[in-house]
Amino acid sequence: MNVLILCTGNSCRSQIAHGYLSSFCGEDVSIYSAGVETHGVNPRAIAVMKEEDIDISEHTSNHVDEYMDLSFKLVLTVCDHANERCPYFPNKEILVHHNFPDPGKATGTESEIMESFRKTRDLIKVYCKELVKQYELNRQ
């Protein structure tokens, strides 16, 4: 089964969720992430996931149009902008939306910005664990 995570630029929130869902889901689940735009994977997102022993450094920032021909059990939008601009996926069973704060817009010292990334990461982690249980994404 396929799961798609959508965000605005596929740089922070969707990449973090992609990392967690890849870690939490069963082997028969393929995780994809994309944006309604592409901004490149944020180095701070890579760094905070590395703190969790999850390597997303090889992820790429992909545009949602790349996945229009795939069938998805679940499409998750992780920001309001992507939810509003989410294209129609005829081959999806479930559309879920949860808006997370955008750590990419954080300002302040490097320490304060990284703390913003960690807070968003931790919110996404909890949500992804619940999502896996709710939709039985870890079943073989």
Active site residues: 7, 79, 86
Q: Which two tokens stand for residue 113?
A: 């910005």
Angle at 103 between CA 62 and CA 74, to 5 degrees: 45
**Helix or strand or coil: residue 131?**
helix
* Token pair of 129 as six digits: 């664990």
The string of pLDDT tens digits covering residues 32-64 is 999 989 999 999 999 999 999 999 999 999 999
pLDDT of residue 139: 62
pLDDT at 61: 96
Render pLDDT for 14-30 as a digit per residue (tens, 0 to 9).
999 999 999 999 888 99
Residue 59: what residue type? H
71-127, pLDDT tens digit by residue?
999 999 999 888 787 777 767 789 999 999 999 999 999 999 999 999 999 999 999
Q: Does residue 114 contact residue 48 with C-beta atoms inside 8 Å?
A: yes
* Distance (Å, whole) CA 64 – CA 32: 10
CATH for 2-134? 3.40.50.2300
